[in-house]
Structure 1
Amino acid sequence: MTYFNTHARPLRMALLSVSMLAVTACTTVGPDYGGAPEMAPVSVERGTFLRAPDEASRQAPASDWWTQFDDPVLTQLVEDALSNAPSIDAAFARVTQARAGLQTARTAALPSVGSSVSTPYINVPADLVDSDSNRDRYSAESLSVGFDASWELDLFGGNRRRLEAGAARLGASEASLADAQVSLSAEVARIYIGLRARQEMASVLQQQLGMDRQLLVLARQRHEQGTATLHPVEQYRSAEAQTLADIARNEVEIAVAMDQLAVLSGFEPGALNDRLADQGAAPLPPAEIAIGSPADLLRKRPDIRQAERNLAAANADIGVNVADRFPKVSFLGLLGLGGGSIGEALDPANLIGLALPRISWSVFDGGRTEARIEASRGAFAEAEANYRGTVLAALGDAENALTRFGGARVALARTLDTRESAQRVATLDTMRAQAGTIAHSQAIASDREVAGTELASITAKAELAEAYIAVNKAMGFGWSYIE
Structure 2
Amino acid sequence: MRSLSLLPVPLLGALALSGCSALGPDYAGPPDSAPTPTGFARAGDDAAISSAVPLARWWLSLGDAKLNDLIERALAANPGLDAARARLRNARLAMDLELAARLPTAGLSTMAAKVRVPDVKFGEQNIASQWLSLYTLGANASWEADLFGSHARSVQVAGASAQATAANLADVQLSLTAEVAQNYVALRAAQKRLALSREAVARQERMLALMQQRYRGGTASRLDLSKLANQLDSTRTELPAQQADIETHGNALAVLLGQAPGSLDAELAPAAELPLPPAAVAIGDPAGLLRRRPDVRAAERTLAARTAQIGVAEAAKFPQLKFSGMLGLGGSSISDLAHLGDFTLALLPQLSWSFLDFGRTAARVSQAEANRDEALAQYRSQLLAALKDAENALSRFGHRRMAVAGYARAKASADEVAALTGQRQRGGTASTLELLDAERQQILAEQNLLGALAGLNSDYIGLQKALGLGWEASPG
TM-score > 0.5, shorter chain as reference: yes
Gaps of 5+ in 2: 7-15
Q: Which moved more, 1:373-382 or 1:133-142?
A: 133-142
Q: Which moved more, 1:212-221 or 1:105-114?
A: 212-221
CA distances 1:159-192 after superposition (whole Å, capped 9, x unpaired): 0111001111110111111111100011001111
Alignment pair present for 1:472 and 2:472: no
Partner of 2:11: none
Distance change >3 Å, CA 345–CA 453, structure 1 → 2: same
Partner of 2:105: 112
Match of 1:60 among 38, 41, 53: 53
CA distances 1:381-419 after superposition (whole Å, capped 9, x unpaired): 222222222221111111111111101111111100001
Alignment pair present for 1:153 and 2:145: yes
Q: Which moved more, 1:131-140 or 1:285-294?
A: 131-140
Partner of 2:262: 270
Shift of 1:55: 4.0
Distance change >3 Å, CA 372–CA 443, structure 1 → 2: same
The residue identity in structure 1 corresponding to 2:72 is E
Partner of 1:411: 403
Match of 1:385 among 377, 380, 387: 377
Shift of 1:431: 2.3
Provide the rounded CA distance (Å) in 2 between the counterparts of 1:104 and 1:178.
24
Shift of 1:356: 1.9
Partner of 1:208: 200
The residue identity in structure 2 corresponding to 1:34 is P
Provide the rounded CA distance (Å) in 1 between the counterparts of 2:140 and 2:170.
45
Shift of 1:349: 3.8
Q: Which moved more, 1:185-194 or 1:432-441?
A: 432-441
Partner of 1:295: 287
Provide the rounded CA distance (Å) in 1 between the counterparts of 2:336 and 2:311.
50
The residue identity in structure 1 corresponding to 2:112 is T
Partner of 2:68: 75
Partner of 2:13: none
Partner of 1:218: 210
Match of 1:47 among 25, 28, 38: 38
The residue identity in structure 1 corresponding to 2:104 is P
Match of 1:333 among 313, 320, 325: 325
Partner of 1:89: 82
CA contact 2:250–2:265 (8 Å) conserved in 1? yes
Shift of 1:345: 3.2
TM-score (norm 1): 0.88
CA distances 1:135-155 after superposition (whole Å, capped 9, x unpaired): 697975422212111111111
Match of 2:301 among 300, 305, 309: 309
The residue identity in structure 2 corresponding to 1:97 is N
Provide the rounded CA distance (Å) in 2 between the counterparts of 1:468 and 1:125.
89
Provide the rounded CA distance (Å) in 2 between the counterparts of 1:107 and 1:322.
21
**Identical aligned residues as a percent:** 36
Shift of 1:30: 9.5
Q: Which moved more, 1:334-343 or 1:201-210?
A: 334-343
Gaps of 5+ in 1: 17-25
Provide the rounded CA distance (Å) in 2 between the counterparts of 1:35 and 1:168.
13
Provide the rounded CA distance (Å) in 2 between the counterparts of 1:350 and 1:478.
68
CA contact 1:142–1:338 (8 Å) conserved in 2? yes
Distance change >3 Å, CA 249–CA 132, structure 1 → 2: farther
Shift of 1:341: 1.9
Shift of 1:99: 1.1
TM-score (norm 2): 0.90
Q: Secondary structure at the match of 1:336?
A: strand
Provide the rounded CA distance (Å) in 2 between the counterparts of 1:159 and 1:344.
41
The residue identity in structure 2 corresponding to 1:50 is A
CA contact 1:30–1:321 (8 Å) conserved in 2? no
Provide the rounded CA distance (Å) in 1 between the counterparts of 2:431 and 2:298.
67
Match of 2:93 among 92, 100, 103: 100
Q: Which moved more, 1:329-338 or 1:172-181?
A: 329-338
Q: Secondary structure at the match of 1:246?
A: helix
CA contact 1:35–1:164 (8 Å) conserved in 2? no
CA distances 1:237-265 after superposition (whole Å, capped 9, x unpaired): 22111211222111111111112111111
The residue identity in structure 2 corresponding to 1:313 is A
Match of 1:422 among 390, 414, 419: 414
